[in-house]
Amino acid sequence: MASQDWFDKDFYKTLGVSKDISDAELKKAYRKLARQYHPDSNQGDAAAESRFKEISEAYSVLSDAEQRKEYDQIRAMGSGARFTAGGGGQAGGFEDVFGGMFGQGGGGARGQSYSYQQAPGGFDDILGGMFGRGGGRAGFGGAYGPTRGRDVTARTTIDFVTAVKGDTIKLQTADGKPITVKIPAGVSDQQKIKLRGKGEPSPDGGEPGDIVLTVSVRKHPVFERDGLNLRVNVPVTFVEATLGATIEVPTLGGAPVKLKVAAGTPSGRVLRVKGRGVSTSKGTGDLLAVVQVAVPSHLSPAQREALEAFHAVEPPENPRVELLEKARE
């Protein structure tokens, strides 16, 4: 693409569309023109081939939200704007930049013809970098090669165990085509997984786009994620918490483990089981058992009498003293 192209070429006019056209209508207009002027349908027609390249170039820019925004901003600088090499004390312009890139002195000779092969990576690589886009032919697609297919967004919901352990699942695209998706161990809720080459095909034989899959994870009735750790609330009786006990704690997808509850354990204390959390390439978490003292809702007359007898001899401590003092600070 020549230095003056984004100023001189009206990509909207090339595609026969208005500047406020939607993405869907833009694609529709492009496909119609691409079918009409595609080289396969116009063998030996140099004019049709040239027209097809112009159409592909225009669509490559306008179909990309960032490129379209940059193009509109550059065009808004003024119709017929010229960036030329400076001379006689003038600041160098667009052609100075190209002259420097191709090893020419000063601002470069005006009217110099620069071929696509003169720069490492290609002319569109240089323009891509100057306008803040990645290198490669994808930036200008149809101008020098096939355009890349569009990416497609999709969503799926998986169960908690699949998210933690990882698995291979089968999904179906909008057109009914089955695809296999590998869910990595430790995937989190709303995480995105890129399925390369599974998006829309290229309209002119280029690489297909990707599917960007957003994963929703169903809640588990017992466990919660805490980074790489798994958290579970474990109820204990008043007597167990007071006198101490050994209890069983569930694990995700495995046999329960035994934990020792120390005498005088308060509600909310966290007991840790090493290595029984989420295991990923970044490490393995722990199982966090949060003690919850359970209060009996029904007491027999004998049980109530026993508790009242205990209350009569229990230590005269008010567990809310510290709370009341902090509230007055």
Neighbours of 211 (CB within 10 A): 21
**How far, in Å, CA of 67 to CA of 319, rounded?**
65
Q: How confident is the model at residue 174 (pLDDT cuts 50, 70, 90)?
A: confident
What SS3 class is residue 59? helix
* Helix (H) or strand (E) segment spanning residue 50: helix 46-62
**How far, in Å, CA of 68 to CA of 125, rounded?**
17
Question: Please, what is the average pLDDT of the chain?
Answer: 77
Q: pTM for the full model?
A: 0.52
Instruction: List, for residues 267-317, the tens digit of each pLDDT value.
Output: 999 999 999 999 998 899 999 999 999 988 888 999 899 988 988 888 887
Q: Which is it for strands 283-284 and 245-251: parallel, antiparallel or unpaired?
A: unpaired
* Nearest residue to 228 via CA among 157, 159, 291, 288: 288
Looking at the predicted structure, is the pLDDT value of residue 134 above 50? no
Looking at the predicted structure, is the pLDDT value of residue 131 above 50? no
At residue 270, the pLDDT reads: 96
**How far, in Å, CA of 158 to CA of 216, rounded?**
6
At residue 79, the pLDDT reads: 44
User: 38: which 2 tokens?
Assistant: 């595609």
Q: What are the chain's domains?
A: 4-75 (1.10.287.110), 152-217 (2.60.260.20), 220-328 (2.60.260.20)
At residue 7, the pLDDT reads: 64
For residues 177-195, average pLDDT:
91
Confirm if 63 and 26 have CB atoms less than 8 A apart: yes
72: Cβ contacts below 8 Å, ≥ 6 apart: 19
Determine the straight-line distance between the first and last CA of the chain, rounded to whole angstroms.
Answer: 71
Q: How confident is the model at residue 77 (pLDDT cuts 50, 70, 90)?
A: low
Looking at the predicted structure, is the pLDDT value of residue 85 above 80? no
At residue 243, the pLDDT reads: 93
For residues 81-100, average pLDDT:
36
Looking at the predicted structure, is the pLDDT value of residue 20 above 60? yes
190: Cβ contacts below 8 Å, ≥ 6 apart: 214, 215, 216
